[in-house]
Amino acid sequence: MVGVMSFPRTTIGKKVIMAVTGLIWIGFVAGHMFGNLKMYLGAEHFNAYAEGLRTFGEPFLAYGQALWLVRIIIILAVVLHIWAAVTLKMRNLQARPVRYSKHRKLHADAASLSMIYGGVAILLFVLYHLAHFTWGLSAVHPDFRPTDPYHNVIVGFQNRLATGIYLIGLVALALHLYHGTWSMFQTVGLNNKSYDKLLRGLAWLVAIIIPLGFVTVPLGVILGILS
C-alpha cells in the first residue's frame, strides 16, 4: 500500500500534492509580479518583455514554446491543486455530519479557515484576469490590442470596477499565500517549533511582497503615475 498510486489517495498525500503544486504557483506569481513591475520602465520595455516571453529560448525553442511549457506546468499544477482541495473538502464536510451548536475557535486565523473560499475567489479572479488581459474579450476590455500589452494595462485599469476586482483578488491572494506558504512546510514535514517563527515570517513576507508588487500597477494607473 505504498507508492505513486496509493500515496495520493491518503489525506496526507493529497496535502503534499497541494503543497508542491502551491509552491509551483508561488514561483509563478512571484515571477509574474516581478515582470509586471517592468510597466514602470515604459511601453517599449514592457512590450519587449511581453514579446520576450514568447521568443525566450530561441533558436533552441520555437516561438512561444517556452511560454507554453510554463503554461502547461501551471495548468497541470492548478488542476491537481483543485482536485486535491475539492476531494479533501468533501471528505472534511462528511467527517462531521452533526455540527456543534457552539464551537469556539481557540487558535485558527482567518487565513487558515478561508483557504477553500479564498481559493475559489482566486480561481474566479484568474478567469476574469485571463479574459481581461490575455484573451482580451470585448465584454471585459474596451480596447484590447494583442500586440500592445502596455496600452491594454493602462486602458484596462482606467475602469474603476476592473481595478476593484483586482484589489479583491489580491486580498484573497494575500490570505491564501499567508496560510499556504507556512502550511506547505508543515505538510511536507519541514516545520517544527524551532523553525516555526522563521516560517511564519517567511509567510508574512510572501503574503505582503507579492500582492503589494501586483497592486502598484493598477494603483499606479489610477494615480496617474503610469499613463
Partner 1 sequence: MKLHLKIWRQKNAQDPGGFVDYDLDGVSPDSSFLEMLDLLNEELIAKGQEPVAFDHDCREGICGMCSLMINGVPHGQDREPIKQITACQLHMRHFRDGETVVIEPWRARAFPVIKDLIVDRSAFDRIIQAGGYISVSTGSAPEANAIPIGKKDADKAMDAAACIGCGACVAACPNASAMLFVGAKVAQLSYLPQGQIERYDRVVNMVNAMDAEGFGGCTNTGECEAACPKEISLDFIARMNSELIKANLKGGR
Binder to partner 1 among 59, 60, 193, 197 (CB under 8 A)?
A: 193
Q: Choose among 213, 50, 32, 38: nearest CA to 136.
A: 50
Instruction: Give the number of residues in contact with partner 1, rule: CB under 8 A.
Output: 47
List the x/- string, 103-122, binding to partner 1 by CB under 8 A: xxxxxxx--xx-x-------
Q: What angle do helix axes 160-187 and 149-157 make, rounded to 10 degrees?
A: 110
How near is the Cβ of 134 to partner 1 at its closest, in Å? 31
Tell me how far, at minimum, the Cβ of 74 lies from partner 1, in Å: 23
Check residue 197 for interaction with partner 1 (CB under 8 A): no
- Identity of the residue, 63 or 195, whose beta carbon is nearer to partner 1 in the bound complex: 195
Stretch that binds partner 1, among 5-13, 60-68, 153-161, 212-220 (CB under 8 A): 5-13
CB-count burial class (<10 Å; 0-12, 13-18, 19+) for 17: buried
Site string for partner 1, 13-42 (x = CB under 8 A): xxxx--------------------------
CB of 172 to partner 1, least distance (A): 17
How far is 78 from 71, CA to CA, in rounded Å?
10
Shortest distance (Å) from residue 107 CB to partner 1? 4
Site residues (vs partner 1, CB under 8 A): 1-4, 7, 9-16, 88, 91-92, 94-109, 112-113, 115, 179, 182-183, 185-193
